[in-house]
Structure 1
Amino acid sequence: MAVYVYSITSEDHPTRLEGVHGVGDPPATLRTVTAGGLCAVVSDMPDDLRARRRDVLAHQEVQERLMADGSVLPLRFGMTTDDDGAVRTVLENRAAEYRERLRALDGTTEYNLKCSWEEEALLRRILLESDEARELNTAIRAGSGTPEMSLALGELVSQEAGARQDALAQGIVEALHPYVRDESRATPGGEDFLSVSFLVPTDKEEMFLATGISLANQLGEDCELRLRGPLPPYSFV
């Protein structure tokens, strides 16, 4: 029977899974598969699995329970394979790699940071600081502009906005860098100009969070910093 795989840990990692259930309806029973000094937490694969809230939360609860007792390689929702034998084969073939990743994640947790800049506030900043943009905007608003000037202003504002967002993103990451072990950037979506995950050692977590609050206060209401965590270290598996 196909199996659903939740996490990989070391073979001696506590697996206190009492009261925790797997995905599916009714919830699947969790079990472990061991090989190569490693342990995978799995269950039977339910029929018609989709990312329902119930199942996503069940998947997450397994990660959180295991993380309470040490480092874990959390697999993303929906990871499946043929059977327990296939799980053992993967554990054996990639044992050295997985053990190295577990060591790298030991004593850490993940935080995700997304940042956006309110569009009107950013435009005001550009018009205040760029003489060229301000002159073009003044001429257009006075009715003496040309279609070419409107196009030039649009291109200039786009370039200036990108440059300012890139500089701010770099500054934010650099300010947090002393308190992280690793980082993983993703392509920002929507109005965000920064999406980055940080691997934060437990002994630096307090300073990391304090620095995040300080950055948010310095940037004010025009910029929104959204920090989520602690999370399973999905971005660093």
Structure 2
Amino acid sequence: MSIFLYAYTLADAPHDLEDLTGVEGRNLFMVTCGNVSAIVSAYGQKTLSLSGDDIFAHQHAQRLLMSQASILPLQYGLTLSSLSQVEKVLTNNEEVLEKELNRIYRKVEMEVTMRFDVPDLLDHLISKYPYLRDEKGKVLNGRLLYYLGDRAKKGEKFTRTLAKEKEIYKSQFKEMVGPWCAEIRESHLPLSEMDVVTFNCLVNRERLRVFEKSIYDAGDRFAPDFTFSYNGPWAPQNFCSQAMISYK
């Protein structure tokens, strides 16, 4: 038997763990040392299982926990050998955890993406930059390069111009949503050619409405050539560094 960890939270956070279950359907409970707590459950496996049901249960528990109070979420699979080990981690990291939890207090993570919404991206850029017309005339083995689609690289002018356009719109979009974020970071996940940018945003709960309004305002401003989508709220996974926590 070991202990499965879901999140850290402030000791006085108003979490209601009654009837809340996690991996293996086990009840969650709180271990507290000083001003910080770990939210955990018992775990019956000797080695970590990658069961889809347990991964879902872990994520579901974190969503319910973050809806009640601020948490520092932990990735699936963090286990410790005993409750005394949990207490040791809390004691050794109390100052760091308390500082981090206060930083994200009453904040949630939102993800927002801006993407082009045009039938043909090259034609769209040609209408703004006529010098790109010759990109459609380039040939490779007797065939138009552009019409080889994803199997061929578009011309260098197109690539440079598209990158410049994305930087311009990325900056303008950030100016609209950034003021309503406590922190904003550009996601480094791979983007499609049509995607301009994805931002991870740390937002005060009290500012969620005005943050969402800024996205709709951006939609009005950049219509009809762009669309916007957003997801969340989530626990601030991308704004909390687990590397700072020592488990020695």
TM-score, with structure 1 as normaliser:
0.83
What is the rounded CA distance, in whole Å, between the counterparts of 1:118 and 1:157 in structure 2?
Answer: 17
Trace 1:154-193 onto structure 2 (pairs within 5 A). 154-191=155-192, 192-193=195-196
Closer/same/farther in 2, CA of residues 152 and 95 from structure 1, 3 Å limit:
closer
What is the rounded CA distance, in whole Å, between the counterparts of 1:174 and 1:49 in structure 2?
Answer: 44
What is the rounded CA distance, in whole Å, between the counterparts of 1:182 and 1:63 in structure 2?
Answer: 21
Indicate whether 1:96 and 2:95 are aligned. Answer: yes
1:182-232 Cα offsets, whole Å, 9 max, x none, are 123221324134222111112222111111112123333543322001111
Q: Which residue of 1 aligns with 2:217?
A: 214
1:154-189 Cα offsets, whole Å, 9 max, x none, are 111111111111221222122111111012322132
SS at match of 1:94: helix
- Tell me by how many angstroms 1:6 deviates: 0.4
Q: Which residue of 1 aligns with 2:245?
A: none
2:206 to 203, 206, 212: 203
Closer/same/farther in 2, CA of residues 86 and 195 from structure 1, 3 Å limit:
farther
Q: Which residue of 2 aligns with 1:58?
A: 57
Question: Quick check: 1:188–1:194 contact (8 Å CA) kept in 2?
Answer: no
1:68-90 Cα offsets, whole Å, 9 max, x none, are 44321111222223332222222
What count of residue pairs does the alignment treat as equivalent?
A: 229
Closer/same/farther in 2, CA of residues 221 and 56 from structure 1, 3 Å limit:
farther
Runs of 5+ unmatched residues, structure 1 = none
Runs of 5+ unmatched residues, structure 2 = 241-248
CA RMSD in angstroms comes to: 2.8
Identity of aligned residues (%): 22
Question: Quick check: 1:121–1:222 contact (8 Å CA) kept in 2?
Answer: no
What is the rounded CA distance, in whole Å, between the counterparts of 2:36 and 2:126 in structure 1?
Answer: 58
Closer/same/farther in 2, CA of residues 222 and 178 from structure 1, 3 Å limit:
same
Residues 184-193 or 162-171, more deviating? 184-193
Question: Quick check: 1:73–1:102 contact (8 Å CA) kept in 2?
Answer: yes
SS at match of 2:76: coil
Alignment-mate amino acid for residue 200 of structure 1: V
1:104-148 Cα offsets, whole Å, 9 max, x none, are 1112221111233247443122211223212453x559xx9999x
TM-score, with structure 2 as normaliser:
0.80
